[in-house]
């Protein structure tokens, strides 16, 4: 594969990954989130943007690595699942911050985590580095699912 194609491919995977992040970022925490009861281990708000920036970059490089190695014809299902999990990623922000549905967001993030787990396994088969690049994402979404659960438990009463 020519260098120009590889560079364009990387730019495309980065654009796709960060587009999901941009869509999710349209739904901001705001006053509703600030008023929620939170566990003591809830990270400060300033942590989320840098972590997600790094994770979207790692996701993109992971997909790019698989794409370079196997192409769409050789890794079609894995790359399709990559796009599906990006959509699930963006959907969580809409459910949680947009609709204020902590309960639906909790169910959705569990589906997202399972999709990331499956994606990690599929990518690992094509290239171990690509699978390994998804491990921080899998861990962070696992942590986020625990946080989502804690927020659901602490805020189950009347709408906040």
Domain ranges of the chain: 3-154
Q: Is the pLDDT of residue 132 over 90?
A: yes
At 149, the pLDDT band (50, 70, 90 cuts) reads very high
Give the least confident one: 3-7, 102-106, 145-149: 3-7
Percentage of residues of the chain with pLDDT beyond 70: 98
- pLDDT tens-digit map of 30-60: 899 999 999 999 999 999 999 999 999 999 9
The gap from C-alpha 80 to its chain's centroid, in whole angstroms, comes to: 15
Q: What's the pLDDT score for residue 63?
A: 98
At 156, the pLDDT band (50, 70, 90 cuts) reads confident
Q: Is the pLDDT of residue 159 over 60?
A: no
Distance CA 36, CA 90 (A): 21
What is the pTM (predicted TM-score) of this model?
Answer: 0.94
- pLDDT tens-digit map of 75-119: 999 999 999 999 999 999 999 999 999 999 999 999 999 999 999
Q: What's the pLDDT score for residue 157?
A: 63
User: Domain 3-154 carries which CATH code?
Assistant: 1.20.1260.100
Q: What's the pLDDT score for residue 158?
A: 57
Q: What's the pLDDT score for residue 1?
A: 73
């Amino acid at each position: 594969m020519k260098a120009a194609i590889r560079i364009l491919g990387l730019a495309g995977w980065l654009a796709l990954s960060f587009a999901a992040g941009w869509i999710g970022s349209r739904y901001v925490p705001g006053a509703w989130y600030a008023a929620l009861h939170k566990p003591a281990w809830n990270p400060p708000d300033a942590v989320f943007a840098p972590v997600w920036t790094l994770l979207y970059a790692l996701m993109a490089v992971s997909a790019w690595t698989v794409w370079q190695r196997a192409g769409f014809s050789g890794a079609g299902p894995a790359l399709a699942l990559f796009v599906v999990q990006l959509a699930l990623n963006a959907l969580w922000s809409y459910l949680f911050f947009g609709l204020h549905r902590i309960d639906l967001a909790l169910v959705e993030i569990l589906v997202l985590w399972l999709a990331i787990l499956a994606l990690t396994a599929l990518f690992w088969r094509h290239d171990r580095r690509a699978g390994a690049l998804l491990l921080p994402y899998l861990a962070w979404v696992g942590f986020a699912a625990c946080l989502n659960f804690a927020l659901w438990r602490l805020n189950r009463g009347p709408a906040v």
